[in-house]
Amino acid sequence: MALSLTSQWILLASGLIAHADEVMAGEECERLMTLVDEEVDGDDYAHWLAIVSNPDRLSEALEAAELPPPESRSQILESAWLMAVVDGERAQVEIDTLERIAKRLGVDRAQ
């Protein structure tokens, strides 16, 4: 079964945040793998595992991705934010990445 756009965006956004500071903490890796395990099945598993493990592929996929429905955009950003805080550290590069994702989604910075 193909992933919904919302699920695709959750994986892309969470993966980008996990890689943003170039240090994949154990908590980030565990959360990212849990998301992949929960969202992806069958033939798509290896495909998505290859994407979320590579920051360049994540960036390319984010830019190429069709926009998800407007009502799912806050859920996507919340999932990305959870990835940013799961390791207990706050990095400016993660905040910058979250803002980049929000901009791509068309979500105003104030929101």
Specify the pLDDT at position 111: 65
How confident is residue 16, by pLDDT bands cut at 50, 70 and 90? very high
Q: Indicate whether 12 pLDDT > 90.
A: yes
Mean pLDDT value across residues 60-87: 93
What are the phi and psi torsion angles at 7 (to 5°)? -65, -40
pLDDT computed for residue 6 by the predictor: 94
pLDDT band, residue 3 (cuts 50/70/90): confident
In DSSP notation, the chain reads: -PPPHHHHHHHHHHHHHHHHTS---HHHHHHHHHHHHHH--TTHHHHHHHHHT-HHHHHHHHHHSPPPPGGGHHHHHHHHHHHHHTTS---HHHHHHHHHHHHHHT--TT-
Q: How far is CA 31 from CA 28, 55, 79, in A?
A: 5, 16, 10
Angle between the N-to-C axes of helices 5-20 and 55-64, in degrees from 0 to 180, rounded to the nearest 10 = 140
Residue % of the chain over a pLDDT of 70: 96
Write down the mean pLDDT value for the chain. 90
pTM: 0.91
Q: Does residue 55 carry a pLDDT above 70?
A: yes
